[in-house]
Structure 1
Amino acid sequence: MKTDIRNILATKTKQALSSNILNASNIRQNIIILDELRNFIPSLSLDEYSQLESNILQHGCQTPIQVWQTLKKNLDLAFEKEDDLAYILVDGHNRYKICTSYNLPFEVYVLSFDSQKDAKDYMINLQLGRRNLSQNQISYFRGLRYNNEKADKSDNLLTNFSKGQNDSLRSEGQKTDNLVSNFPKGQNDPSENGGQKTYKLETESSKGQNDPSVNNGQKIDNFEIKSPKGHFDPSVKTTAERLAKEYNVSPKTIKRDAEFADGLEKIDSELRNNILDGKIKVDKGTIQKLSKSQIKTPIKSVQELHELIDKFDNISESKAIKLSDRVRESVKNADDFDLTITIKGGFLVKNGLESVWRELRGLPNETVIDNSFTDTISIYQAPFLGIIDRL
């Protein structure tokens, strides 16, 4: 009789998870919130938070809190033993806050990452999979993802994303043993993102999702083997091109998103969230300019932001004038054809200058001047030919 490996693994996994229920309270006591990671989570409006709170109080917390299991020493956290574990909250900050405030039970989904960078990748991708993001938030998270991934050596590893699914594993460095939960179709499945174990602090009846920021959530039960997703695309060369293809935008848009994210990272988290939520209006171009500044202290007010940008613009303009003056002085020492100007036929045709140009340049009358025509002149000839007033 042929051995059914899938059923054996599923049975063993369920048994392992049952034994881990005893560790659930220990995990709960060691959940840690890192400000650096919490800042990736868009804040809920008062109405959204109130609705979430009401849902949880009425139906319980039905979507697992997701945590990253790692050694405390790896994050420079205080520890007694070398193998002391920390459980870093990566998803469910609002649910966690509500549950702990009312001492309510909740399930914990444990994830494994090789590094904090991989945890950031996962959190960014998770946010990009949500449906209630503003355009500024989408731009911000795309920019964060670009900045986080552009130096990745596995740059050409593309992940297939299931249509309609909230998110899938996009972080190349993330560990997984391919034992994942079998969620209903359309369900937001944290196991697709590399989840390892679910710890149930207390059994709850599943009555539907109570988090307005994600898709419908239900209990985690059956386990099955799933093949890894992803394929190698040698035609995609850069991070910007890869992300542009994924999000159906141009590489330039991705790079502008990166500037936007860089600028926002130089702003105090409270002000940054207010800008992303649309509570405070700041021109996107202003934020992008901020990305080029070298400030070390986060900006705390819009007034401070505009004062810095005005100062930055003035310095840039002054520097540009000095540099252009230096170039202008050097022009005097240029030979005839060190500096040239190319005249395109399209310009001449558009302005009806074909015969005028033939006469000025001494060209034969049979010379055809059309859109494919080009002529190169020295910059010293330009004033005589009417291209510029003077040098």
Structure 2
Amino acid sequence: MKKFTLDKASLHTQKRDLSKIAKSNAQLQIQIDPELKAFIPPLKPDELSQLEQNILEEGVRDPLIIWDTSEGSSYLIDGHNRYGIIQKHKLDFKVERKNFPDKEAVKDWMINLQLGRRNLTKEQSGYLRGLQYNREKKKASDTLLKGANAPFPQNEGAGETAQILASQHKVSRATIERDALFAKGLESIGSQYPDKKTSILSGELKIKKSDIQAIGQGKKSVDDIVGTQNLETNQQSNTVQTQFIASSDSQYTEAQIKKIDVAKSKLDMAITQLLKAGLDKKTIRSIFSEELKNK
């Protein structure tokens, strides 16, 4: 069998070409679309740290995937975590370019790509399946409404979509339908508290799945669930603050510190009641700000 070898000149040419590609990629104006980035499951701090260590030891092995739009823009659609590390350390990288008719097609591709990965948590898998179901259901509904004057059979179409996705992902139809509510609830949380949605998907913030599904059904509001989480965090913070006051400032007596604790508890209860009454947080802040001004 004939062996093929590269002489020094050929190797030099290859290295020079790779260097040109790396330089070209480094100069590429890659844009980040927050709406598209939201489709990427977040990494926990330790996972991100491990990814960074791997890249520094082995280099950027997989190419970043770019969507080239008809307007000439280049949007990152896969490799957001790697790209952050690349920018931080000014590393060389490769790109793979893809063309799509519109952003909706990009979203479908991103969801399918993420669902094919094995390192997803249960929350992430459920969210992506539910997101896929809600999007497919809407597309089917829109198509039928455009093409027929007859009323759209909502339950039939929804059931068929759920069954198709259930078979595709090897779960039950009921699981897909629950995932749909979970995804809808998470989207509602994300519209008000983007960081909370990210924390739920990463597993850092623990909220009952049934509560998030209740938001998706419209049975509970976002503030009913997430507002409670904020209050619990605030109460823990208040305890820490009180302990800090006690240890760092001798001008406060033990009796005064107890009064501070009681006052903070009453304040927490008042905020809870106002949230249950339907007031938003901005209005509540405004009320307390005015009260402080009048004191």
User: Which structure has more strand as a fraction of its residues?
Assistant: 1
The answer on 1:108 being equivalent to 2:95 is yes
Tell me by how many angstroms 1:30 deviates: 2.0
Q: Which residue of 1 aligns with 2:206?
A: 281
Where does 1:292-311 land on structure 2 (aligned, <5 Å)? Answer: 292-293=217-218, 301-303=226-228, 311=276
Report the Cα offset of residue 70 of structure 1.
Answer: 0.5
Paired residue type of 1:148: R
Aligned to 2:30: 31
Alpha carbons of structure 1 residues 45 and 146: separation in structure 2 relative to 1, 3 Å: same
Q: CA deviation at 1:292?
A: 3.4
The answer to whether the 8 Å contact 1:143/1:255 transfers is yes
1:221-247: CA deviations, max 9, x gaps?
xxxxxxxxxxxxxxx972111001112
1:250 equivalenced with 2:160 (yes/no): no
1:60 Cα shift? 1.2
Q: Secondary structure at 1:109's aligned position in 2?
A: strand
Quick one: which of 256, 271, 286 aligns to 2:196? 271
Match of 2:282 in 1: none
Could you say which residue in structure 2 is the equivalent of 1:60?
59
Give the alignment's TM-score, normalised by structure 2: 0.59
- Distance (Å, rounded) in 1 between the aligned partners of 2:65 and 2:222: 32
Q: Report SS of the residue matched to 1:71.
A: coil
C-alpha distance in structure 2 between counterparts of 1:27 and 1:129, whole Å: 29
**Aligned counterpart in structure 1 of residue 129 of structure 2, from 130, 142, 146:** 142
1:386 aligned partner = none
What is the Cα deviation at residue 23 of structure 1?
11
CA contact (8 A) 2:215 2:221 kept: no
Query: Aligned partner of 1:241: which letter?
Result: Q
Name the SS for the 1:151 alignment partner.
Answer: helix
How far apart in 1 are the matches of 2:203 and 2:108? Answer: 24
**Aligned with 1:133 (options 120, 131, 141):** 120
Query: Contact 1:266 / 1:299 at 8 angstroms: preserved in 2?
Result: no
Provide runs of 4+ in structure 1 moved above 4 Å.
Answer: 21-24, 294-302, 304-308
1:295/1:119 CA distance change after superposition, 3 Å? farther
SS of the residue 1:252 aligns to: helix
Separation in 1, partners of 2:224, 2:78: 27
Q: Is the 8 A contact 2:26 2:93 kept in 1?
A: no
Distance across 2 between alignment mates of 1:131 and 1:64: 19
Aligned residues: 201
Deviations 1:7-59 (A, max 9, x none): xxxxxxxxxxx9xx779727853211111111111221222111211121122
Deviation of 1:112 (Å): 1.3
Rounded to whole Å, the distance in 1 between the matches of 2:181 and 2:84 is 32
User: Larger C-alpha radius of gyration, 1 or 2?
Assistant: 1
Deviation, 1:250, is 2.1
Q: Percent identity?
A: 42
Code of the residue aligned with 2:33 in structure 1: it is L
Q: Could you give the per-residue CA deviations for residues 286-328 of structure 1, whole angstroms, max 9, x where no partner exists?
A: 10111234999999944278979x959xxxxxxxxxxxxxxxx
- Deviation, structure 1 residue 139: 0.6
Matched to 1:264, the amino acid is L
Higher relative contact order (CA 8 A, sep 6+): 1
CA distance in 2, matches of 1:298, 1:110: 41
| Structure 2: 5+ residue stretches without partners | 1-16, 143-157, 232-271, 278-295
* Matched AA of 2:162: A
Quick one: distance in 2 between partners of 1:269 and 1:100? 24
SS of the aligned residue for 2:47 comes to helix
CA distance in 2, matches of 1:43, 1:302: 22
- Distance in 2, Cα, partners of 1:277 & 1:135: 10
In structure 2, the residue matched to 1:86 is 73
Separation of aligned partners in 1, 2:208 and 2:222: 21
- Structure 1 segment 1-391 matched on structure 2, within 5 A: 25=24, 28-72=27-71, 85-153=72-140, 238-267=160-189, 268-293=193-218, 301-303=226-228, 311=276
Secondary structure in 2 aligned to 1:61?
coil
In structure 2, relative to structure 1, the CA distance for the partners of 1:133 and 1:26 (3 Å cut) is closer
Deviates more, 1:53-62 or 1:294-303: 294-303
Three-state SS of the structure 1 residue aligned to 2:75 is strand
**TM-score, scaled relative to structure 1:** 0.46
Residue identity in the other structure for 2:214? K
**Aligned-residue RMSD, C-alpha:** 3.6
1:278 & 1:116 partners in 2: Cα distance?
Answer: 28
More helix by share: 2
